Amino acid sequence: MIGVKEVLEEVGLSENESEVYLALLRLGEQTASRVSEIAELNRVTTYMLLKALCEKGFCSVFDKNNVQYFRPVRPEQILSLLEEKKNKVKMIIPILKERENTIEEKPEIDLFEGKKGITAMFDLLLKDAERKKEVLTYGNFSIAEKLIEYQSLHWRKTRLEKKIKVKAIADVSPPDYVETGKKWRALSETKVDKRLAKLSSYILVTENYAGYLTLKGELTGVLIKSKEIADMERFNFERLWK
């Protein structure tokens, strides 16, 4: 059978507050001294607990012959107390919703250099692309051409296995040495925009990442983990694509 004190504690009373409320309920109305005897607690402690119960609405206090008496709320009134609390929470839910997730995560920025570094950057992009099955890229093909040298077999094999599509926009068409298998063609789509020859970078975009590649002797990558920045680059890509 469910314990009375346990339920009272679940609705907001401490263990000692529950003990004092039950003692007061047996007495009907009484002084702190008498309640302390029934509850078997120190008088000062009992008085403080009774005051706390008053604040929580579980009892009231009044003077009789210049002595303070405490009266418990009737058991059925506890439901009204809970309903009142429920209504108060309902009132502040819109305010709480406004504050929900208002502190955005700061973008994470990482620098990648050399073949191993660029390969690691690709792996992060590929993992992030698994949900939407798409990587968007655009930029100067001279950098993209260098990028092809850095693409590990792991990247290509995993991309095909997971059916992740790459949509690319470059300043020139890629040469014929790019794989021409049916599966590869089905997951690769390219458009040409000669204006991109003016750029000195190549950009890769997934759901939560924007990767920037520059070629100054050695290929260097900067990867930014930020949904907002990725959305901005996706917007730029889609405008070019159209």
Q: What is the CATH number of the domain that holds 29?
A: 1.10.10.10
121 and 211 inside one domain: yes
Question: Which of 99, 132, 152 delimits the end of a domain?
Answer: 99
148 and 205 inside one domain: yes
113 and 208 inside one domain: yes
* pLDDT bracket for residue 162 (50, 70, 90): confident
Note the pLDDT of residue 11.
Answer: 82
85 and 184 inside one domain: no
Question: Which of 99, 118, 139 delimits the end of a domain?
Answer: 99
64 and 160 inside one domain: no
Pairing status of strand 188-192 against strand 165-170: parallel
Whether residue 192 is predicted with pLDDT greater than 50 in this model: the reply is yes
122 and 215 inside one domain: yes
Query: What distances in angstroms separate CA 79 from CA 58, 70, 74, 93, one per listed residue?
Result: 11, 20, 10, 21
Helix (H) or strand (E) holding 16: helix 15-27
CATH of the domain at 231: 3.30.870.10
Note the pLDDT of residue 60.
Answer: 92
| This prediction's pTM | 0.55
Whether residue 174 is predicted with pLDDT greater than 70 in this model: the reply is no
Report the distance separating Cα 108 and Cα 224, nearest Å.
6
92 and 126 inside one domain: no
- Each residue's pLDDT tens digit, 33-50: 999 999 899 999 999 999
pLDDT above 90 covers a percentage of the chain that reads: 40
66 and 156 inside one domain: no
Whether residue 177 is predicted with pLDDT greater than 70 in this model: the reply is no
* pLDDT bracket for residue 151 (50, 70, 90): low
Number of domains in the chain: 2
* pLDDT bracket for residue 54 (50, 70, 90): very high
Residue 61: phi, psi to the nearest 5? -125, 145
85 and 118 inside one domain: no
**Summary mean pLDDT of the chain:** 85
225 and 116 inside one domain: yes
- Each residue's pLDDT tens digit, 78-124: 888 888 888 888 898 888 888 776 666 788 999 998 878 888 898 89
Q: How far apart are the first and last CA of the chain?
A: 69
Report the distance separating Cα 30 and Cα 139, nearest Å.
83
Question: Which of 50, 78, 99 delimits the end of a domain?
Answer: 99
Domain that holds residue 161: 108-241
71 and 138 inside one domain: no
51 and 12 inside one domain: yes
**Mean pLDDT within 185-211:** 89
Note the pLDDT of residue 17.
Answer: 92
